[in-house]
Every structure is written in structure tokens, then in C-alpha cells.
Amino acid sequence: MAELPSSVRIREVGPRDGFQNEPETLPTEVKVRLIELLGQTGLRRLEVTSFVRADVIPQLADAEQVLAAVRLPPEVSVSVLIPNERGLERALRQRECFHEVNGFLSASETHNERNVGRSVEQSLAGLRRVFARAGAEGLRCEGVISTAFGCPYEGHVPVERVLGVARELAGAGAVEVGFGDTTGMANPLAVREFFERAAAELPGVELTAHFHNTRGQGLANVVAALEAGVASFESSFGELGGCPVPAGATGNIASEDLVSMLAEMGIATGIDLAALLDAARAAQEALGRPLGSHVLRAGPVDWH
């Protein structure tokens, strides 16, 4: 068996990836309260919002207000999702409130066109400009590749294509590249083989795995990524988030499920599971419905 990392870094994406997929819009003050609860869990990376057009994702229309109001411990690195140069300009008006920018695109042409109305090359061109400007501002840049393990429209996405996009992002200034299993099409064997190859072809780049639990394989894919040496993951408290294609898809892997499993495996995260569960319960109460997290329902393992 491959030697597993002794510790991992987790970026919590629920306040962005989760809230944007909710049918209703949470009040700004509720979002701020939930983000601040997450900030008290020991999480060191938080994606708090996205500077997208309000008519496209009205759930995140209050990005400026959330970013200005939230108060987090100084050791928490705050990131925002940036769709384009206009979004970056909006974000930079509050440059003192965040530390990282995450720029995104899809590996498949069809998904990228339907998601952002651009070709992959057009998105790459825009991200080159975004990362150049963000880097000049002293911001850390992450490139996020959706449909990295399969596309709901095109099916199989060649590994060569995904890694080609990743190399372009790294060349544009991304020091971290996240690979998203957007609709839960990955399997553990494919994940392990993919990240072994990615590590060989992208030396010096932090590789981050972003899994969805659409078909119940999210945590199995995490273990496969760990076996390939991945030590950076994204997850969402309460299993919030997801993709509207396919119908009935669940959200991202739940942060509390991830933290609980890693703790049982002896892998350090620095995150207080009890505090994280409190945050997930608060989100559940705010949304007025049960959330999908397994540990939220069953509780953590108790050996006593």
C-alpha cells in the first residue's frame, strides 16, 4: 500500500459552491454567521463567495457585503471565485479582505460553453489576464478545472486534455490547480492513475482534488487520491452544493465526513470535528431541511 500523507489541507467551499446551488437566497447576515462559525473550526482555507453577475447567480449577489462583514481569525486564508476580469475588478475594491483568487473553466468544450458561454481557449485567455493582475496584487492564484473526470454532455474527457489545460493554468501563474469531479463520474482507479500522472507532469504545482458525491463514491475517491500523494482537498459542510446535471445529483463531499474519515485514518487536518458539526447543524437550521452529510446524521465514531 502506498504511504499516505500525514496531514492534508482542506479548503471549505460551502459558502460559495454550496450557497449558490440553493433554490432560495440566504440573507447576508446568515451567510456571515455561518462563515464565521466555519472560521472557528480550525479550517485554514475558506472560499467565502464569488464575484459573478447577480443575474447569473443571484444567490451570491451580496459578495461585496459578505466579504466586508465577515470576521475570521488571521490564520484563515480567504479565497474568492473569480469568473473573469470584470469580477476581479469588483473583488479588488476590497483587496484587504481576501488572500487567494480561484479562476475556473471546464476541461470539456460543451460544458464550458454551457457554463460560461465561452470556448476553453477563450476562458484560458481571460484567466491569463486575471492571474497576471491578481499576481501583481500579491494574491495567490488557483486554477479550477471542472469536468476533469468526465463530462455529462461529452462523456469521457481525455486525461491529456485535462493536463494540457492544467499546464496552461500553471504557466499563467496558478500555483495550485484543482481538479473537479463536477457530476460525480470519477472512480477510485481512475483517480489514482490520474493524480499519479498529474504529479509527474506538474512538478511544483499544488494538486487539489474536488469530488462530488453524486454516485456515492466521493470518499472512496479521496482515499485513491491520498494513495497518489494528494494532500489538498476541497469539500463543503453539510454536503451542500452540487451540479444541476444530472438531475438528482447530491452535493460536494461533506467536510465533516471527510474530516471524520481522515481522523480515523490518522491523517491530521487541524479541524475540530465537533465545531464543524455545529456549523453544519446551523446551516441545516438556516435552510430548514435535512442535509446530506452522513456524520451529521449518524455522529462521529465513538470507540468508548
Cβ atoms within 10 Å, residue 270: 14
CA distance 99 to 91: 11
Chain centroid to CA 242: how far? 11
Q: Is-contact 85 130, C-beta < 8 A?
A: yes
Q: Is 97 a catalytic residue?
A: no
Residue type, 83: P
From residue 142, give the alpha-carbon distance in Å to each of 128, 166, 189, 223. Answer: 12, 10, 25, 23
Closest CA to 255 of 270, 233, 231: 233
- The catalytic position among 97, 141, 151, 243 is 243
CA distance 226 to 23: 34
Name 199's bridge partners. Answer: none
From residue 162, give the alpha-carbon distance in Å to each of 108, 110, 169, 182, 185. Answer: 8, 14, 11, 13, 15
Q: Phi first, then psi: give them for residue 195, nearest 5 degrees.
A: -75, -30
Helix (H) or strand (E) holding 284: helix 273-287
CA distance 14 to 22: 11
Q: Catalytic residues, which ones?
A: 243
